[in-house]
Amino acid sequence: MNHQAKKKFGQNFIRDKNLLMKIVRESNIEDKNVIEVGPGQGALTTFLASNAKKVIAYEIDHSLKPFLDAIKNEYENLEIIYEDFLEADISQYTEDLHVVANVPYYITTPILFKILETDNIKTASLMIQKEVCDRLLAKPNHKQYNALSIILQYQAHVSKMMDVKRQMFFPIPNVDSAVIRIVKRDEPLIEKDKELVFVRLVKEAFKQKRKTLVNNWYEAYHVNKQELEMFLKSNGYSPNVRAEALAVEDFIKLARMWSYD
């Protein structure tokens, strides 16, 4: 069977069996329920189905059905759903789920947010663009550090599993990749009633990276700048501090003390 990779779906297929086995092995999915996003021609799917309790694979490209149906015939624990994962109702599953996927670059962020927002997804191993992986793992005062870095690190333990050279894909993409490992925290780092405050504070703080926290928050919350400066100083921060200088713990501290709408 031949299949022409579709650019509109961000299709780049991996065929290196050693790499695929390593991803599955380090994802710790033995006897667990797995979701695969974009199984493509099923190279990773086969190894997942051989190790997991159950695999639910979401594929948006119906032209890949012949490849995937051939694999499905070999594994009773494999379910293939021809639907956009971003539109899928994952809440229908009551069991804990673990995502393993070679993610199309153009929808990396929406997939990340869906994983974070779905309570019964406990871990994820995602093949993503290396630059994006570095950004998600970035620490304060690094040029790639941003709001998503903080929100992800707040919600989960995040690490890099491995780098993957572009030559391991077909067709070969323009950039290298990496596999990121996300393990959600058992307990939130902040009280439930402060979570939305924390997330908004972080997002607004990075709206314009060149601006100070005071200027970004002034534009978002319309609180007097002198009052915002006093708020920062009273909590031990310079009134001229920028978002990129603050760690997750700093934003948690400020969210707990925040009293503005």
- Residue list for the binding site for S-adenosyl-L-methionine: 12, 14, 38, 59, 84, 102
Task: Report whether 179 contacts 162 (CB < 8 A).
Answer: yes
Q: Quick check: 217 and 242 in contact, CB under 8 A?
A: no
Q: Tokens in use for 86?
A: 């971003």
Q: How far is CA 230 from CA 76, 162, 220, 238, in A?
A: 63, 44, 17, 9
Helices assigned H by DSSP within the chain: 17-26, 43-51, 65-72, 108-117, 130-137, 147-155, 195-205, 213-221, 225-234, 248-257
The sheet that has 156-164: what strands, in order across it? 78-81, 54-58, 33-37, 97-102, 121-129, 177-184, 156-164
| Contact status, residue 255 vs residue 190, Cβ threshold 8 Å | yes
Give the number of other CB atoms < 10 A from CB of residue 117. Answer: 10
**Residues of each annotated binding site:** 12, 14, 38, 59, 84, 102
Contact yes or no for 209/242 (Cβ under 8 A) = yes
